[in-house]
């Protein structure tokens, strides 16, 4: 499974990434620590799963 991780806490991103890289069925294809980077990464990488922080801080002008 191709996984993209999106969370504004780098420690969470790195921990989840490390755990998934040890699992044989998962490939981390990208990560985003800013909301505005998430959608372009999804479009570019076409992951099977997006692990998304639903409370990720939105950039100014974006819906909360």
pLDDT digits (tens, 9 = 90+) for 46-62: 999 999 998 887 665 55
Residue 23 lies in a domain: yes
Residue range(s) defining the domain that contains residue 15 = 2-52
Q: Which residue has the higher pLDDT, 37 or 58?
A: 37
Residue 58 lies in a domain: no
Residue 35 lies in a domain: yes
Query: What CATH number has the domain bearing residue 27?
Result: 3.40.50.2300
Average pLDDT, rounded, for the chain: 89
Tell me, yes or no, if the pTM score tops 0.85.
no
- Residues 8 and 55: their CA atoms lie apart, in Å, by 9
Helical residues (DSSP H) of 1-64, grouped into ranges: 10-22, 35-45
- How many structural domains comprise the chain? 1
Residue 43 lies in a domain: yes
Which of the 8 DSSP states describes residue 54? Answer: T
- Residues 31 and 25: their CA atoms lie apart, in Å, by 18
Report residue 61 as tokens.
């002008």
Half-sphere exposure of 15 (CA within 13 A, CB side): 6
């Amino acid at each position: 499974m191709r996984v993209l991780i999106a969370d504004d806490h780098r420690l969470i991103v790195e921990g989840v990434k490390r755990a998934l890289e040890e699992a044989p069925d998962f490939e981390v294809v990208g990560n985003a620590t800013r909301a505005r980077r998430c959608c372009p990464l999804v479009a570019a990488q076409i992951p099977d799963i997006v692990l998304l922080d639903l409370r990720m801080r939105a950039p100014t002008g974006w819906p909360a």
